[in-house]
Amino acid sequence: MIRWASLRRLLVPLVFFAAAAFALAFLVLPLVALLTHEPPGRLSGQLSNPVVTDALVISLETSAIAQAAVLLAGTPLAYLLARRFRGRSVLVTLVELPIVLPPAVAGIGLIVAFGRLGLLGGTFAALGIDVLLNRAAVVLAVAFVSGPLYVRTAIAAFEAVDERLVGASRTLGAGPVRTFLRVVLPLASGGLAAGAALALARGLGEFGATIMFAGSLQGVTQTLPLAIYYEFDANLDVALTISALFVIMTAAVLLSLKLTGLWHASRSRSSIRSATSASS
Amino acid sequence: MERRLTRAQVLTGGARASGALLLAGTGLGAFAASADATPPNDALGILPAADLAYARLLIGWELLSIDAYTHVLGSGHLDRASADVVRLALANEQAHYTFLAGVLAGSGQVAMTAADVNFTYPKAAFYTARSVSKLAVTLEQYALGTYLGAGGAIATPALASAIAQIAANEAQHLSSIAIAGGGAAFQDAFPATMTMEDSSNALDTYTS
Amino acid sequence: MRWTRTRRSLLALTLATTMGGSVGATQLLGASSTSAITVFAAASLTDVFPAIDSAPKYSFASSNTLAGQITLGAPADVFASANTSIPAALYAKGLVEQPVNFTRNTLVIIVPTANPAGIHSIYDLTKAGVKLDIANSAVPVGSYTLQILGQMNLAKPVLANVVSQETDVREVLAKVAAGQVDAGFVYSTDAKTVPGQVTVINVPAWAQPKVTYAMAVVTKSPNHRAAQAFVQEILSKAGQAKLASYGFLALQKPKEKVATKPPRKRHKKKKTHT
């Protein structure tokens, strides 16, 4: 007779681990295939292809500028949204909306907002600001889709900062700016770094909004994802090279920022412990 | 008021120009001469893109002239003598087209044919003898202007000299038709040249 | 109810028969019904093909993208391209059967209705600062554009004004209609789909390339009969008439008649004396 009880005890963890292994394999297999489909020598030969180098330069440049803008403008916004006030939830929802919008919708939105015939089109033209199918347009598209990711994570990071520590700092005579820079930021740095990593990786991979709003021209606006799309029909080798490059790049970004964030977090946690023990 | 173009009118150009008789005679003589003269060599090899672009534009004009003259002959507004003249002009245009098509073929390209394009004319263009004459004068003026412009722009000497020959022929057509329409045989010391852009825009008005 | 062996085998038999029967029925029905086929067609055919036959499943994209997908084994039954060279290349590789021409088209320049750059002819595209949008050279309309510019010797100055290269013709249309660019090259049939949003400027007839569309049945198609039926539908009189109504050109252009006499009523013939 089969002992159902003992079978169930064995089966449940087995199924659990099988499901987990399946999920892991599903996520990892395409990445492994990308890196192993062609011999690495053939792929590295394509690295000198001007399509690849142009796309790399444009992607890095526009992502860096967009990231800087997101950090500079997003951090104050997240800090403000971390407080409690009327209408906060509405504002937070609005800010988070681009995360769930399909990139094509983001693209159309950018066109009707900042395009030549858009809401601000006339104003931009009058002020001499040119965001029509150039690198500035790429930066706008990348910032629009990646910014909310950073802001959302940053809000959570700022919310996690202990209000008492902020209060203690103010009591000890530090001004609001000094408190923010020397107390709040270091305490939130782990979350901020995680948000920044997410935003950077997302921005590097942006396709839909970029192709709609900024167009695609090699050497001007063709980022790495756009180049993959174009080269897919023309030369599969180049597309594979860029894809492999992408996997390595984003993995490095995510990993390094995560490690830096962890290091910062551990540092600030230890300094908090010493600070709180001293004050109490 | 409709009137038929008579032989006398074509040959003498009416009462106005007395010297027109001499010119018309020369014009006819020139027609006779070109019927015997050897066409220029069209095997010019691979030509630069600018020259080929002009050749294509000129082919467009030649096809238009051929189409227009064919309709003129079929309109029934010409008497026999003037019809003979127009028939000769039509033969000239066909020779021009053949030469230009050969030039393109020599560069490995295919020339446009009559089947590839539809020409449209102003509404009453073929209704009367007068309107027919007016249309022919306009087309010949455009063609002449285009050839003169081409002559100044084409880089290949062999092609440029052939273009000059064709330009002279078109000028002969223009004079004869102008006379027949009651106008002067010639006027300007330097007939107008057209830029490629203006010529292309003018040709556009006759294509659907 | 206890799952006895008899009941279980009966259930299995019923399921097998039903599935087998429905598959067989679909095959029988699908033999000549176009509802069972998938048609991969050029983006410019997006509106007209479903208007001719709404039954098949359609996938519209640039002809070169579709050809790439077919090469990688995509399940298409019919392939319709905006040129003859792409189907010919697939035929040479044995991926499709003999292609057949089914319609023609012309290229035009479109500008937004506001026409901010003041473009009135193809020569205006050489002006400095004009933002021009074209399809990339692998796309048929893109290669036709390059052909036109080469034939007019305008390639260098005009291509310097290109700000974006799209992956299919409808993207060019969308960018011009949205006012993002000053001008774009599309087919005359595409311009007709957005009346009032764009203004059409003709490409000179003497520089028009020969734009011929060709279609072919995919060799690996499991529905050859239905695929052939679809091809015949497009080539039929009704299909050709529908194409004409959307602005496509007939394979053989009929010559337009030119009136050499005014209409009967006002016609006066006077004999003149010589």
Q: Over the stretch A232-246, which tens digit does the pLDDT of each residue have? A: 877 778 888 888 888
Across C50-62, average pLDDT: 93
Q: Is the pLDDT of residue C237 over 50?
A: yes
Interface check for C253 against chain B (CB to CB < 8 A): the answer is yes
Q: Is the pLDDT of residue B166 over 90?
A: yes
Interface check for B59 against chain C (CB to CB < 8 A): the answer is yes
**pLDDT score for A264:** 63
**pLDDT score for B189:** 87
CATH 3.40.190.10 in chain C: give the residue spans. Answer: 34-104+211-245, 107-207
Q: Mean pLDDT, chain C, as a whole number?
A: 87
Residues of C in contact with B116 (CB under 8 A): 208, 210
Look up tokens 């003497």; give the residue.
C206
**pLDDT score for B19:** 45
Among the partner-chain residues B2, B49, B208, the one whose CB lies closest to the CB of C153 is B49
Is C60 within 8 Å of C45 (Cβ atoms)? yes
Side-chain half-sphere exposure of B91, counting CA atoms within 13 A = 12
Interface check for A46 against chain C (CB to CB < 8 A): the answer is no
Give the bridge partners for C199, in sequence order: C111
Question: Residue B149: what are its φ and ψ, rounded to 5°?
Answer: -65, -40
**pLDDT score for C132:** 96
Q: Is the pLDDT of residue B21 over 50?
A: no
Q: Is the pLDDT of residue C2 over 80?
A: no
Interface check for B205 against chain C (CB to CB < 8 A): the answer is no
In chain B the domains, ranked by start, together with CATH numbers, are 42-204 (1.20.1260.10)
Query: What's domain C107-207's superfamily in CATH?
Result: Periplasmic binding protein-like II (3.40.190.10)
Residue C27: its H or E element:
helix C5-30
Among the partner-chain residues A111, A132, A229, the one whose CB lies closest to the CB of C167 is A229
Residue B14 banded pLDDT, cuts 50, 70, 90: very low
Interface check for A133 against chain C (CB to CB < 8 A): the answer is yes
User: Does B117 contact C205 at a Cβ distance shorter than 8 Å?
Assistant: yes
Q: Is the pLDDT of residue C226 over 70?
A: yes
Q: Mean pLDDT, chain A, as a whole number?
A: 87
Across B78-99, average pLDDT: 90
Share of chain A above pLDDT 90, in %: 45
Q: Is the pLDDT of residue A97 over 70?
A: yes
Among the residue ranges A109-118, A173-182, C255-264, the one predicted with the least confidence is: C255-264
Residue B187 banded pLDDT, cuts 50, 70, 90: confident
Residue A38 banded pLDDT, cuts 50, 70, 90: confident
Residues of C in contact with B50 (CB under 8 A): 153
Residue C108 banded pLDDT, cuts 50, 70, 90: very high
Q: Which own/partner contact pairs does A259-266 have at CB distance under 8 Å and 24+ positions apart?
A: A260/A193, A261/A189, A261/A190, A261/A191, A261/A192, A261/A193, A261/A194, A261/A197, A262/A190, A264/A186, A264/A189, A264/A190, A264/A193, A265/A189, A265/A190
Q: Mean pLDDT, chain B, as a whole number?
A: 83
Greater pLDDT, A252 or A147: A147
**pLDDT score for A114:** 93
Measured between CA atoms, how close is B57 to chain C, in angstroms?
6
Residue B22 banded pLDDT, cuts 50, 70, 90: very low
**pLDDT score for B79:** 80
Inter-chain CB pairs, A–C, below 8 Å: 58
**pLDDT score for B12:** 47
Among the residue ranges A187-196, A221-230, B195-204, C26-35, the one predicted with the least confidence is: C26-35
Interface check for A215 against chain C (CB to CB < 8 A): the answer is yes
Q: How far apart are CA A216 and CA A219, in angstroms?
A: 9
Q: Is the pLDDT of residue C25 over 60?
A: no
Q: How far apart are CA A137 and CA A115, in angstroms?
A: 9
Among the partner-chain residues B8, B53, B201, the one whose CB lies closest to the CB of C153 is B53
**pLDDT score for A37:** 82
**pLDDT score for A17:** 93
pLDDT digits (tens, 9 = 90+) for C118-127: 999 999 999 9
Greater pLDDT, A153 or B208: A153
Measured between CA atoms, how close is C210 to chain B, in angstroms?
8
Interface check for C269 against chain B (CB to CB < 8 A): the answer is yes
Q: How far apart are CA C48 and CA C215, in angstroms?
A: 15
Chosen for mutation from C165, C173, C175 (greatest number of chain A CBs closer than 10 Å) is: C165
Across C180-201, average pLDDT: 94
Q: Is the pLDDT of residue A47 over 90?
A: no
**pLDDT score for C258:** 73
Question: Residue A53: what are its φ and ψ, rounded to 5°?
Answer: -65, -40
Domain boundaries, chain A: 51-272
Neighbours, chain A (3 or more CB pairs < 8 A): C
**pLDDT score for A108:** 92
Residue C267 banded pLDDT, cuts 50, 70, 90: very low
Residue B89 banded pLDDT, cuts 50, 70, 90: very high
For residue C180, give the nearest of C229, C135, C117, C244 by alpha carbon: C117
For residue A241, give the nearest of A54, A35, A73 by alpha carbon: A35
**Strand C107-112 vs strand C198-202: parallel, antiparallel, or unpaired?**
antiparallel
Greater pLDDT, A43 or A97: A97
Query: CB B184: neighbour CB atoms within 10 A?
Result: 14
Residues of C in contact with B203 (CB under 8 A): 204-206
Residue C18 banded pLDDT, cuts 50, 70, 90: low
CATH number of C34-104+211-245: 3.40.190.10
Closest residue in chain A to residue C197, using alpha carbons only: A117
Across C104-131, average pLDDT: 94
Residue C12 banded pLDDT, cuts 50, 70, 90: low
Interface check for C206 against chain B (CB to CB < 8 A): the answer is yes
User: Does B56 contact C262 at a Cβ distance shorter than 8 Å?
Assistant: no
pLDDT digits (tens, 9 = 90+) for B101-135: 999 999 988 999 988 888 999 988 888 888 898 99
**pLDDT score for B61:** 96
Query: What's domain A51-272's superfamily in CATH?
Result: MetI-like (1.10.3720.10)
Residue A214 banded pLDDT, cuts 50, 70, 90: very high
Residue A259 banded pLDDT, cuts 50, 70, 90: confident
**pLDDT score for B18:** 43
